[in-house]
Amino acid sequence: MQTQKIDEVFELYYENMRKSIKGVEEILKINFLEKDIYYKMGIDNLNALHENIVDLLKHTYSPREVRMKLREIEYDEKITQETFLE
């Protein structure tokens, strides 16, 4: 029963992440021509992000481990923003 609930939560999060990735892809399409290098790099990064999300969800991580990994990503993102926006 608990495993089913965890699977449902992961599926919901996956769908939300997939929609977000598609949204960013649409923004790239609006702002850049498909031949533009920034468009191509953005799409490549979105594809890599999608593959990593799928790989993460395929592993048998506990919800706690997933939360910890997401916090690490958030921390790394914050440090990167602080470094490049100063």
Helix axes 37-58, 2-31, angle to 10 degrees: 180
The pLDDT assigned to 1 comes to: 45
> What is the reported pTM?
0.56
Give yes or no for a contact between 46 and 21, defined as CB atoms under 8 angstroms apart.
yes
Task: Provide DSSP, 17-30.
Answer: HHHHHHHHHHHHHH
Instruction: Kindly tell me if the per-residue pLDDT of 84 is higher than 70.
Output: no
pLDDT tens digits for 16-69?
Answer: 888 888 888 899 889 888 899 998 898 898 888 888 877 776 776 677 777 777
Q: Please tell me the distance from the alpha carbon of residue 2 to that of residue 35, in angstroms, as a whole number.
A: 47
Report domain extents, the chain: 2-85
Residues 2-16, mean pLDDT to the nearest whole number: 72
